Amino acid sequence: MTGDAGNRKTERPAVCTDEDTAAADRKYMREALRQAGKAYALGEVPIGCVVVDNATGRIVGRGYNRRNTDKTTVSHAEITAIKKASKRLGDWRLEGCTIYITLEPCPMCAGAIVQARIDRCVYAAPSDKAGCAGTVLNLLRQPGFNHMVEITYGVSEDESKALLQRFFKELRVTLKREKE
């Protein structure tokens, strides 16, 4: 369950260490993958997210990508999940929370994670094009910012990648058919 640590532009932290945490991470990532499935069903790039309150172990926010459906770039899974978690907890600060995402966060979402002061970010697959948790940039651990986020990556990476690959394969077929 380790991501490929080679060829990275920034230093990446180790994958989860203790077994209980690893099991919990897989459990919550399954729910994030279920959310990604909702995006998939809408014909959206399948990305899902959940926010967990560490004190209770409860999921306090869920979200999935709805960018095309809502016709706005801010409808990323993470933004929706963060909004819901803040509403539920009655606070814009999400200290003591962990965010689980099926794909490494983009600059906008990484920014929101830092701004919300989320303790920890767990993601499944890296994003070579927009990843801001260590792949392109690491906004979650930027020296000088007033908050740093702990990062775990590679949890259920194969499942997330398989879903994304299926989506893009089908999209290519659809686009090809439309051309014909």
The 8-class DSSP code of residue 172 comes to H
Contact set for Zn ion, span 94-123 (CB under 5 A): 106, 108-109
List the x/- string, 2-41, binding to Zn ion by CB under 5 A: ----------------------------------------
Stretch that binds Zn ion, among 12-20, 38-46, 75-83, 120-128 (CB under 5 A): 75-83
The answer to whether 97 and 88 have CB atoms below 8 angstroms apart is no
Q: Phi first, then psi: what are they for 70, rounded to 5°?
A: -85, -10
Task: Kindly provide the residue ranges of all beta strands, DSSP E only, lying in 92-175, ordered along the sequence.
Answer: 97-103, 120-125, 150-153
Question: In whole angstroms, what is the distance from residue 146 CA to residue 163 CA?
Answer: 35
Place of tokens 């539920």: 88
Nearest residue to Zn ion, scored by beta-carbon proximity: 109
Residue choice 76, 84, 120, 141 for contact with Zn ion (CB under 5 A): 76
Instruction: Indicate the Cα dihedral angle 136, 50, 142, 95, nearest 10°.
Output: 180
Q: Is 104 a catalytic residue?
A: no
Q: Please check whether residue 24 is in contact with residue 176, taking contact to mean a CB–CB distance below 8 angstroms.
A: no
Cβ proximity to Zn ion, 106 vs 133, nearer residue = 106
Question: Rounded to the nearest whole angstrom, what is the least distance from the CB of residue 39 to Zn ion in the complex?
Answer: 12
The single residue of 44, 78, 104, 157 carrying the catalytic annotation is 78
The nearer residue to Zn ion, 24 or 138, going by C-beta atoms, is: 138
| Residue found by looking up tokens 């077929």 in the block | 173
Q: How far is the CB of 106 from Zn ion (least distance, A)?
A: 3
List residues with catalytic annotation.
78
Where on the chain is the footprint of Zn ion (CB under 5 A)? 76, 106, 108-109
